[in-house]
């Protein structure tokens, strides 16, 4: 991708007062407070699981407390809680009935919190991915972002769509392998554009607004026109 083009997109985006970079990333005290709140909540999740105190449903759990903090972070995390809601007919995500899956989930969270090296954190997440726990996919990254925001990016439909539109990629939802590809690609974009923070929330907000057609780029102009005309 042309670096000048990318830098221009970044620069124009940062000046848009109504979009997420300004409203959430730069001017949100709640975002800053959430990092400590989520870290504290994740420690409680780990403790609850290890002490056999983790319930058989999201409701009333320490995990729900963490997800409530995250979904309060404006539109970018609006649907993040849904992935962790117990769906009894599908028996997913399988961390409410399967004890070993609970322990594997807790172990990954514990390693991410306590590891000092990026490679160890990524290995912990990859180990969890290899467990193939039913229904426990890369939506977990929305928690990981608040633990290590320079290492893990958020993950949702609009971020993926924005990334695919901008880079002409074919990242899919729900697959850990695709999340790792997305993460690597986002870091490369962030470094190439050279304007955003190392906190991957900034570039993720940029991609989210592209995916939601809040910030129109040449690659999405046709889709924006079609949607606009359909509502006329």
pLDDT, tens digit, 9 for 90 and up, residues 132-166: 999 999 999 999 999 999 999 999 999 999 999 99
CB–CB of 154/34 below 8 Å?
no
Backbone torsions φ then ψ of 131, nearest 5 degrees: -70, -20
Using alpha carbons only, what angle is made at residue 151 by residues 81 and 214, rounded to the nearest 5 degrees?
55
Query: What whole-number distance in Å separates Cα of residue 56 and Cα of residue 46?
Result: 15
Residue-level pLDDT at 231: 53
Distance between CA atoms of residues 174 and 129, nearest Å: 11
Question: Is pLDDT at 39 greater than 90 in this prediction?
Answer: yes
pLDDT band at 27 (very low <50, low <70, confident <90, very high): confident
User: What pLDDT, on a 0 to 100 scale, did the predictor assign at position 225?
Assistant: 59
Answer whether 0.75 is exceeded by the pTM. Answer: yes
Give the helix/strand (H/E) hosting 70. Answer: helix 62-71
pLDDT range class, residue 224, cuts 50, 70, 90? low
pLDDT of residue 24: 95
Section 14-22 average pLDDT: 95
Cα–Cα distance for residue pair 98/147, rounded to 1 Å = 25
Angle formed by the axes of helices 118-131 and 99-114, to 10°? Answer: 170
Answer whether residue 232 shows pLDDT above 90.
no
Q: Give the C-alpha separation, 210 to 139, whole Å.
A: 20
- Reported confidence tier of residue 172, pLDDT bands at 50, 70, 90: very high
């Amino acid at each position: 991708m042309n670096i000048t083009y990318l830098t221009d997109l970044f620069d124009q985006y940062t000046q848009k007062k109504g979009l997420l970079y300004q409203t959430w990333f730069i001017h949100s005290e709640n975002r800053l407070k959430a990092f400590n709140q989520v870290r504290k909540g994740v420690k409680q999740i780990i403790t609850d699981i290890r002490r056999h105190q983790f319930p058989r449903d999201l409701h009333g759990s320490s995990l729900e407390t963490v997800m409530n903090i995250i979904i309060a972070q404006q539109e970018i995390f609006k649907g993040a809680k849904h992935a962790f809601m117990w769906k009894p007919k599908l028996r997913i995500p399988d961390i409410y009935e399967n004890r070993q899956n609970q322990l594997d989930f807790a172990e990954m969270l514990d390693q991410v919190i306590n590891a000092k090296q990026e490679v160890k954190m990524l290995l912990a997440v990859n180990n969890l991915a290899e467990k193939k726990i039913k229904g426990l996919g890369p939506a977990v990254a929305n928690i990981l972002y608040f633990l290590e925001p320079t290492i893990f990016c958020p993950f949702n439909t609009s971020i993926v769509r924005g990334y695919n539109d901008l880079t002409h990629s074919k990242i899919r939802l729900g697959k850990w392998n695709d999340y790792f590809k997305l993460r690597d690609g986002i870091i490369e974009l962030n470094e190439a554009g050279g304007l955003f923070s190392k906190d991957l929330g900034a570039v993720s907000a940029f991609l989210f607004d592209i995916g939601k057609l809040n910030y129109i780029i040449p690659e999405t102009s046709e889709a924006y026109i079609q949607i606009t005309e359909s509502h006329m």
